[in-house]
Amino acid sequence: MKLINILSDHPQTAPAPAKPPRRKPVDLARHTLELAATLSRHLDLDALIDHFSRRLGEVLPYDSLSFRHELAGQWHAIAHGSGGRHSCTYQLQVEEVPLGTLRIARRQRLEEPELAMLEQLIGVIVYPLRNALLYRRAQHDAATDPLTGLSNRGVFDDALPREISRAQRYGTHLTLLMVDVDNLKHINDRAGHSAGDRALQQVAGILRAGVRDSDQVFRYAGDEFAVLLVGGDATTAREVAERLRSRVDELPADSGAARPTLSIGLAPLRDTDSGQALFERADRALYGAKQAGRNCVCSAD
């Protein structure tokens, strides 16, 4: 286990701010043991950081605490409190594997005995943190299609009924697009499987970039994607679907292979639709788009 203090930022020039409030003497050994016992029971990262920040605050007053870590190429931050011009930042690692960066900040300088206490308590969170990060990665991997980075079919199966009941409860629009890449077999056969993979990745990127953050995009199966458009009416949904189709249609050909195009079936939610009914209507509309010659959008009746 390693704690690397990468930055202790204790400006000396400013007038000394008021001392932090005095606290009852702490039985640090006992506090550390209790903390270790509770942290080892937390696998959820947010709950772990939340608990650590509360227990730390009981013995060491501070203004803000944040933990930053990387998952699948993206940085995530969990923050408690705000402000504090004096800060201490630790890069945490176990067996040379970086876990993330923990920063504690306070208006008043952190004195040497406080830093020693802080480091003792941080030492206790390192292994539970590693377990929580492994758990979070496992959850992420179980929900993610490795080729495209999109959420997978399992997540779609959970999201569809949830979004339907939300839309029906609040009377908001919801539209399901079922999207299928045309002639992917032909691309695979002519240019190889990796060209087919690249086509799927390009399509995934266009779908994700072409909708709002509040909309959801899934790799449903093979060369089929599902998009849940939240909030827009049927006309808006049709415009979005047309835009996605035409962006893929405008892609340059990949080393002589046929360019991918999209067939899209569109179904706006009806008041009485179940997940199954909405899915079947979008899927029938997709079939209609294939029958109509591919590279087009077809709306459900």
Ligand X SMILES: Nc1nc2c(ncn2[C@@H]2O[C@H](COP(=O)(O)OP(=O)(O)OP(=O)(O)O)[C@@H](O)[C@H]2O)c(=O)[nH]1
Using CB under 6 A as the criterion, which residues of the chain lie in contact with ligand X when the complex forms? 147, 180-186, 188, 193, 196-197, 200, 222-223, 290, 294
Q: Which is nearer to ligand X, 35 or 203 (CB)?
A: 203
Q: Is 190 within 8 Å of 246 (Cβ atoms)?
A: no
Q: Which is nearer to ligand X, 140 or 186 (CB)?
A: 186
Q: 275's torsion region: left (phi>0), alpha (psi -120 to 50) or beta?
A: alpha
Q: How far apart are CA 9 and CA 293, in angstroms?
A: 65
* H-run or E-run covering 154: helix 153-170
Q: Which is nearer to ligand X, 121 or 195 (CB)?
A: 195
**Closest by alpha carbon to 63, among 31, 18, 33?**
18
CB 1, min distance to ligand X, A = 40
* Active-site residue flag, 223: yes
For Cα atoms 81, 85, 87, give the angle at the middle one, nearest 5 degrees: 80
Q: Which two tokens stand for residue 263?
A: 């067939």
Q: Which is nearer to ligand X, 17 or 222 (CB)?
A: 222
Q: How far apart are CA 243 and CA 257, in angstroms?
A: 23
CB 77, min distance to ligand X, A = 33
Catalytic residue among 63, 180, 182, 223: 223
CB 263, min distance to ligand X, A = 7
Q: 171's torsion region: left (phi>0), alpha (psi -120 to 50) or beta?
A: left
Q: Which residue is nearest to ligand X (CB)?
A: 196
CB 219, min distance to ligand X, A = 9
* Residues assigned a catalytic role: 223
